[in-house]
Amino acid sequence: MGNKLIIGSSGQIGVELIEQLSKLHGADKIIASDIKPATKNIIEGVTYLTLDVLDKEKLLDTVKKYNISEVYLLAAMLSAVAEKNIQFAWDLNMKGLFHVLDLAKENYIKKIFWPSSIAVFGPTSPKIGTPQTTILEPSTVYGISKMSGERWCEYYFLKYGVDVRSLRYPGIISYKSPPGGGTTDYAIEIFHSVINKNSYDCFIEEDVQLPMIYMDDAIRATLELMNCDRKKLSINSSYNLSGISFSPKEIALAIKKIHTDFSITYNPDFRNNIALSWPSSIDDSIARKDWLWSHEFNLEKTVEKMLFGITTL
Ligand code: AKB
């Protein structure tokens, strides 16, 4: 068995995924890479590299040099920043995926994790309990790239037997590393704002519900999917995944139970339109059936963990 390469390891998910992968497999099996040199959260024993996923040659050299068998491709541009960098977002999100899929097709690596997102859904998808298979007409460049990526993942699996696994992540809530330019970032910013100012000016309207998940659940889902017997997986593109759903008003109320004088105001910007195009809640019954997925963090538990976690930073 070879080593595991995380591409985009300094991002919100990468930082916590490395921690768990090192615990599970040993830090010496983990190669963490990012376009920026690692500055913090360095785990002893993990090898840290600077790597641009768009540099196919260096990627291949890295895979050979470090005997990589599994790749977690986390480098991507998220929904809000992608709208400001359309061409680069498309190039990064698609070319990066092709580079890794091709390495598996050419047998350099055995298994891939590639995150998709609830952004594959659009205004014409069912809004509540959005099913796995439904209309996919995303209206953001990020969503279009994730929807296309899913199609390519399934294509490479069916055509070349590439073992690529994927989840449609909801907004991921965590405190160890800042979020990377998404629409659901408000649900992280709000906690930092509680601690710093006891108030928050929200860029999403008060009643817009979005699907979210606490980081520990997201990481556990990722590792459970990666460790599952492939024969049990009925989805070859990307699994719907759900944790909790809430609106800014609902999360503010949950925070107020602990910080009673916390206040929230609303100043919706272009991200509100992105949020309005996405589902309010997701039906992930196929993940629950195929690999027994079940989330642990409800809204109250998430709020407690976030408020406590931020104060320990
Ligand atoms: C974003 O808001 O862009 C991401 C996502 C839902 O994929 N957090």
Residue-wise pLDDT tens digits, 48-105: 999 999 999 999 999 999 999 999 999 999 999 999 999 999 999 999 999 999 999 9
Q: Looking at residue 42, what is its pLDDT?
A: 80
Domain 3-124+137-170 has CATH 3.90.180.10: no
pTM over 0.75: yes
Average pLDDT, the chain: 97
Taking the centre of ligand 1 as the mean of its atom positions, its distance from the CA of residue 180, in whole angstroms, is 9
Instruction: Give the whole-angstrom CA distance, residue 301 versus residue 72.
Output: 28
Confidence of residue 40 (pLDDT cuts 50, 70, 90): low
Structure confidence by residue, pLDDT tens digits, 221-271 = 999 999 999 999 999 999 999 999 999 999 999 999 999 999 999 999 999
Residue 41 has pLDDT above 70, yes or no: no
Ligand 1 atom nearest residue 210's Cα: 6
The reply to whether ligand 1 has any atom less than 6 angstroms from the CB of 245 is no
Q: Which long-range contacts (CB under 8 A, 24 or more apart) does 204-207 make?
A: 204/248, 204/266, 204/268, 204/271, 204/272, 204/275, 205/248, 205/266, 205/268, 205/272, 205/275, 206/247, 206/248, 206/249, 206/264, 206/266, 207/247, 207/249
Alpha carbon nearest to ligand 1 atom 6, residue: 171
User: How do 210-214 and 244-246 pair as beta strands?
Assistant: antiparallel
Whether the predicted pLDDT of 38 surpasses 90? no
Ligand 1: does its nearest atom lie under 6 Å from the Cβ of 117?
yes
Query: How much distance in Å is there from the Cα of 212 to the middle of ligand 1?
Result: 9
Ligand 1: centre distance to CA 81 (Å): 10
The whole-number average pLDDT for the span 40-44 is: 78
Q: Where along the chain do its domains lie?
A: 3-124+137-170, 174-212+242-311
Asked if residue 1 has pLDDT above 90, the reply is: no
pLDDT-derived band of residue 178, with 50, 70 and 90 as boundaries?
A: confident
Closest residue by Cα to atom 4, ligand 1, is 182
Residue to probe by mutation, ligand 1, list 78, 85, 177, 204, most atoms within 8 Å of CB: 78
Question: 174-212+242-311 has which CATH code?
Answer: 3.90.25.10
Q: In this predicted structure, what is the pLDDT of residue 52?
A: 98
The predicted structure's pLDDT at residue 313:
85
Q: For residue 177, what pLDDT band results from cuts at 50, 70 and 90? A: confident
Nearest CA to ligand 1 atom 7: 117
* CA 121 to ligand 1 center in whole angstroms: 12
- Among 130, 168, 169, residue to substitute to test ligand 1 (most atoms within 8 Å of Cβ): 169
For residue 142, indicate whether it is catalytic: yes
pLDDT per residue as tens digits for the range 142-152: 999 999 999 99
Q: Residue 217: which of 130, 128, 309, 305 has the closest Cα?
A: 305
